Amino acid sequence: MTTDSTHPGLYPALANSETDSAIASILAQIDQAQQTLTGVKGPDPDLIASSEPCIDQFARERGRGLFFPVMGAGLGRGALVAMTDGSVKYDFITGIGVHSFGHGDLDLIRTALLASMSDAVMQGNLQCNADAAAFSALLVESAAPDRLKHCFLTNSGALSNENALKICMQHTGGAARVLTFEHCFAGRTTTMCQIGDSAGGRQGIPLNTDVDYLPFYDQQDPEGSTARTIACLDEFLRRYPSQHSCFMMELVQGEGGFNTAPREFWIPLLERAREAGVPIWFDEVQSFGRTEELFQFQALDLAEYADVVTLGKMSQVCATLYTEALNPKPGLLSATFIGSTAALQVGRRIIERLRSGDSYGSDGRHARLHATFRRLAGTLLEAHPECFPSMFNPGQTADLDEIVGGTGGMMRLTPYGGEGSRVKPLIMRLLDAGVMAFTCGHGPFHLRFLPPVGVLQDADIEAVMEIVGSVLEDES
């Protein structure tokens, strides 16, 4: 196998000028087609009728329709994506954060085309190519190589979390309880949906996992909420000594509302868990790559506390990282698939590009994009104060800190005081107006953006926020 970065993972005999020429020709055609995508466009009446049967058939086969009653046409350009009905929309949710470099990134397409020439479409844990080794090495080197020395790859964020839980349970001699936070999310396997704090996500599922929930940080009461969370943790540790397999936490809660907390909130909790011998597990499946560092635990300078870290979405292939002390016994971890060859190579390329650019740091690109989002949210607040009532002070207009949340490429806006019956229809009005977004939070409910942070421009945010403003008051 060649290690030439020009042809990553490609058998040497295929790495030649003819390959380069053929791929360049394909990319030129894609680039030409992409030039037609210049902004939001409404559906084409002639294409609506031909696109609906496929969407309807898929709904029948799934047993329910798609959340968004549209399908991609296979052509996109950055934040813009073409649909089968002829419309063009801003994709500001990107598959819940999967498409971090948007649609039609030519560099990533080139990487995928080279990967498609490999002998195997999928790679597995019994036998794999050097792509898997290179991807694992990059993750370990990028995280905390002096502490997180091992990496197990899988093709699902939920499975990376399942592996983390098994590692922690084995390390603690079969301890059955899980410590985590209210409003957390961990995935949709039978076990992960019990850990996640969503009643709808575990409806009808037998509850056989004991989970102890701590209150998350409250920005309205920093000192008080920190003290309450510490007291709650102390009580759980007192009540169930040596019975917790892990302390699992999203340092930025995703589904729960893009909730964040400062370092001083985490330190006393992590110290208590460490003193009690409870493994610390940072779930970064949604936050990986999107914050002001590649990992949020790095942004908060918490690497010394990381026993297990899970990641996914943006990385294309998911992973569980863990320390030497938690390295499990043979047989605990396995799976048929690691992921596709294309996913391994594209995921590696994504991480390389993020690390080599100016994405990170307090004045990095992600921080600047979030600042632009915050500034434009302030403009919306001034223009439509009636659409932003305070969640905490009835009868008053919210302040900017109340309606904006998240960090870096995780962007949250809270209109209508977080009233779900108004926020959820707003999502559909935005779709009709040309923006794909989503919700987060369990009450209050928020407007959630996971834009293509790798290629996002200020102009994209400006265009989307202008559309948001145009539909905020349209509740007819």
pLDDT score for 441: 97
Which of 67, 99, 115 terminates a domain? The answer is 115
322 with 231, same domain: the answer is yes
Contacting residues for 36 by C-beta, under 8 A, at least 6 apart: none
4 within domain boundaries: no
| pLDDT tens-digit map of 278-289 | 999 999 999 999
Which of 322, 356, 390 terminates a domain? The answer is 356
430 within domain boundaries: yes
Calpha distance 209→153 (Å, rounded): 25
CATH number of the domain that residue 223 is part of = 3.40.640.10
Which of 115, 131, 163 terminates a domain? The answer is 115
- Confidence band, pLDDT 50/70/90 cuts, at residue 3: very low
> What's the domain count of the chain?
3
Checking if the pLDDT of 473 tops 90, the result is no
345 with 386, same domain: the answer is no
154 with 215, same domain: the answer is yes
Calpha distance 168→308 (Å, rounded): 8
213 with 351, same domain: the answer is yes
189 with 252, same domain: the answer is yes
Checking if the pLDDT of 4 tops 80, the result is no
6 within domain boundaries: no
Q: How far is CA 25 from CA 22, 36, 113, 137, in A?
A: 5, 18, 12, 33
For 387, the domain range is: 365-435+457-471
440 within domain boundaries: no
pLDDT score for 32: 98
2 within domain boundaries: no
Calpha distance 235→388 (Å, rounded): 38
Confirm if 307 and 325 have CB atoms less than 8 A apart. Answer: yes
Lowest mean pLDDT among 12-16, 101-105, 113-117, 181-185: 12-16
143 with 271, same domain: the answer is yes
393 within domain boundaries: yes
445 within domain boundaries: no
316 with 376, same domain: the answer is no
Calpha distance 8→12 (Å, rounded): 10
| pLDDT tens-digit map of 128-170 | 999 999 999 999 999 999 999 999 999 999 999 999 999 999 9
212 within domain boundaries: yes
194 with 71, same domain: the answer is no
Paired sense of beta strands 211-214 and 177-181, if any: parallel
Which letter, b or e, does each residue of 251-271 get, where b requires 16 or more Cβ atoms within 10 Å of its Cβ?
bbbbbbbbbbbeeebbeebbe
pLDDT score for 13: 78
177 with 103, same domain: the answer is no
Checking if the pLDDT of 356 tops 70, the result is yes
174 with 303, same domain: the answer is yes
Q: Which runs of E-coded beta strand occur in 182-235? A: 211-214
- Confidence band, pLDDT 50/70/90 cuts, at residue 476: low
151 with 251, same domain: the answer is yes
- Confidence band, pLDDT 50/70/90 cuts, at residue 10: confident
| pLDDT tens-digit map of 79-120 | 999 999 999 999 999 999 999 999 999 999 999 999 999 999
Q: Using alpha carbons, select from 239, 215, 240, 237 the residue that is nearest to residue 228.
A: 215
21 with 155, same domain: the answer is no
